[in-house]
Chains A and B, each alone.
Chain A
């Protein structure tokens, strides 16, 4: 069996499972974000009284933190009341940050578990050897009542990433290249495992980027076999004992794809789909109005560090806004201690409070018609960040930083000549 199948078998009390089989899996942790008040409504509509386990459910206020509208404020108020009434052990209110960053930091994510959240990017937690998948509000309400979710055991695709990309080329560039080639529907309903020499050496932050964006190929879940860096990160934080699952030798993958990264260049997803990917060179010189560094894809300490490295002592172009949103309070504090937030403010950045920011068009930097934004986030769908007549380019945080500096899309490599494509000293 594959490690993911072992996780599903364990959760459903079976000795083994195979692709296509429907199992009823016990959920180790369930998270609801602040878009999904419907979860509570569905919970009561189905006759729910109390959540099944107060230690295994939490709200994270991230998409609307702090609340931009009265409707969002009402969502928060009703969710706070529900959390209190159910005596939930964990509650992450507006200062905390994006759920996919906050949960691992809080030790709620560990190898071998199943985490389900009302957010499509829950695939992120494959970075920790966990199985993560997203659901809608009513599925989540079922979990809150029963502690279980029906799932189809997915076929597994292995993506082998081999070699070492040049300096200035990051995990975000790697995954954009992969999605560009396998397409937005390339992994619909599949489990996606990332492996290979590049992945083996990656730290937590970069593993999270790969697993996060696997969803943009339609993946049900993602997985990377934990290495020592991951185990060290989790061991210091995990709220429960955990078991690392491993894939049996000779496991037969439904599909396998190999990417050689030694000569990869920075990548750019052009409007308006995530698989519309070309080398960034093709977009060089396109004038931009805004840059965004943040979100569950590109708002970690490593991302802010590389932006600060590029922008320190310089000024962004005078027609451009740069919005920097640390993915969590912990990330914000790490970056403040390292003086990076100060460097970014000096360069002309606007710092917003930890959360999802304008990624989904909610607040903190939405776009007007005809505006162009280069963003370290994960989606460039029409109207995703505001007007349907705005245009979004997806890139690495380094590419966003070099682009706002010049006011036009710019290759970051000229600013990162020393060192490889990895920022050290991060805190995931």
Chain B
């Protein structure tokens, strides 16, 4: 996923966008990703929701604060949001996004530099964000080695699957039973 370049228009949001706005609590019993996606950004307003699909969310600090609901990331992913670029992210939302492969970029002050509906090009590899409308360039913060490790594996699920596979093979080689107790 990190080799990809993304292209879309900025959908500008404020700071402290909480997960109730991204995915309202009344739909938390839903599990099917397509059903979840129908309620993406329903807590903000109709116009934002309509413009968001296929585009890039640009927000202030503390994006994704509040509830730990993974539905928020599942909704954004399945509603076709390409990436979220924010001044900072709330911790649980950030982990969920990395785990599930939603591109998230930390770029302090980004919401002051990019205007709503600006045309953007984002290079996930280098962390560069090009504002094509304004002809400016911003750089996001490095993700850190371990986070990159997860991202490069395509998310936490393939990583864990791979690790389990490896453990199983090591276990068989050693002919011990430690690999898979209980």
A382 and B99 form a contact (CB under 8 A)? no
Is A317's beta carbon under 8 Å from chain B?
A: no
* Chain A residues near B95 (CB-CB < 8 A): 135-136, 139
A46 and B66 form a contact (CB under 8 A)? no
Closest to B15 in A: A185
A150 to B99, CA, bound (A): 12
Is B151's beta carbon under 8 Å from chain A?
A: no
Q: Which of A59-98 contact B (CB under 8 A)?
A: 63-64, 69, 71-72, 74-75
Is A26's beta carbon under 8 Å from chain B?
A: no
* Chain A residues near B67 (CB-CB < 8 A): 119-120, 360
Number of interface residues of A (CB under 8 A): 55
Contact partner, B92, options A72, A120, A360, Cβ 8 Å: A120
A218 and B90 form a contact (CB under 8 A)? yes
* Chain A residues near B164 (CB-CB < 8 A): 46-47, 145
Q: How large is the interface on B (under 10, 10 to 19, 20 to 34, 35 or more residues)?
A: 35 or more
B92 and A136 form a contact (CB under 8 A)? yes
Q: Which of A34-42, A293-301, A409-417 contacts B (4 or more CB under 8 A)?
A: A34-42
A64 and B65 form a contact (CB under 8 A)? no
A42 to B33, CA, bound (A): 13
* Chain B residues near A360 (CB-CB < 8 A): 20, 25, 28, 67
A185 and B61 form a contact (CB under 8 A)? yes
Given contacts A42-B157, A136-B69, A138-B100, contact A362 B26 (CB under 8 A): yes
Given contacts A136-B96, A384-B20, contact A54 B26 (CB under 8 A): no
A303 to B25, CA, bound (A): 25
Given contacts A38-B31, A120-B66, A379-B20, contact A135 B157 (CB under 8 A): no
B16 and A273 form a contact (CB under 8 A)? yes
B33 to chain A, nearest CB (A): 10
B111 to chain A, nearest CB (A): 13
A150 to B153, CA, bound (A): 15
Closest to B145 in A: A22
Closest to B63 in A: A185
Q: Which of B76-107 contact A (CB under 8 A)?
A: 88, 90-92, 95-96, 99-100
A220 and B91 form a contact (CB under 8 A)? yes
A22 to B144, CA, bound (A): 10
A418 to B25, CA, bound (A): 40
* Chain B residues near A185 (CB-CB < 8 A): 15-16, 61-62, 65, 88
B69 to chain A, nearest CB (A): 7
Is A365's beta carbon under 8 Å from chain B?
A: no
* Chain A residues near B100 (CB-CB < 8 A): 138
* Chain A residues near B180 (CB-CB < 8 A): 49
* Chain B residues near A138 (CB-CB < 8 A): 70, 96, 99-100, 156-157
B16 and A184 form a contact (CB under 8 A)? yes
* Chain A residues near B20 (CB-CB < 8 A): 360-361, 379, 381-384
B24 to chain A, nearest CB (A): 5
A50 and B24 form a contact (CB under 8 A)? no
Is A353's beta carbon under 8 Å from chain B?
A: no
Given contacts A136-B70, A382-B43, contact A41 B31 (CB under 8 A): yes
Closest to B67 in A: A120
A152 to chain B, nearest CB (A): 8
Is A134's beta carbon under 8 Å from chain B?
A: yes
B92 and A135 form a contact (CB under 8 A)? yes
Is A337's beta carbon under 8 Å from chain B?
A: no
Q: Which of A371-410 contact B (CB under 8 A)?
A: 379, 381-384, 386, 388
Closest to B31 in A: A37
* Chain A residues near B69 (CB-CB < 8 A): 35, 136
A383 and B43 form a contact (CB under 8 A)? yes
A184 to B62, CA, bound (A): 8
A69 to B73, CA, bound (A): 23
> Of B29, B61, B90, B157, which is in contact with the most chain A CB atoms at under 10 Å from its CB?
B29
Closest to B62 in A: A185
CB-defined interface of A131-153 with B at 8 Å, one 1/0 digit per residue?
Answer: 00011111100100110001010
> Of A41, A51, A69, A379, which is in contact with the most chain B CB atoms at under 10 Å from its CB?
A379
Q: Which of B115-154 contact A (CB under 8 A)?
A: 144-146
Closest to A220 in B: B91
B92 and A134 form a contact (CB under 8 A)? yes
A22 to B30, CA, bound (A): 33
B21 and A139 form a contact (CB under 8 A)? no
* Chain A residues near B73 (CB-CB < 8 A): 136
Is B160's beta carbon under 8 Å from chain A?
A: yes
CB-defined interface of B7-24 with A at 8 Å, one 1/0 digit per residue?
Answer: 000000001101011001
Closest to A154 in B: B91
A residues near B (Cβ < 8 Å) are: 22, 35-38, 41-42, 45-47, 49-54, 63-64, 69, 71-72, 74-75, 118-120, 134-139, 142, 145-146, 150, 152, 184-185, 188-189, 218, 220, 273, 360-362, 366, 379, 381-384, 386, 388
What are 24 A-B pairs at a CB distance below 8 A? A22-B145, A35-B29, A46-B160, A52-B182, A53-B182, A118-B68, A120-B67, A135-B92, A135-B95, A136-B69, A138-B70, A139-B99, A145-B164, A150-B146, A184-B65, A185-B15, A185-B88, A360-B25, A360-B67, A362-B25, A379-B66, A381-B20, A383-B20, A384-B25
Pairs of residues from A and B, 3 with the lowest C-beta to C-beta distance, nearest first: A71-B29, A136-B70, A360-B25
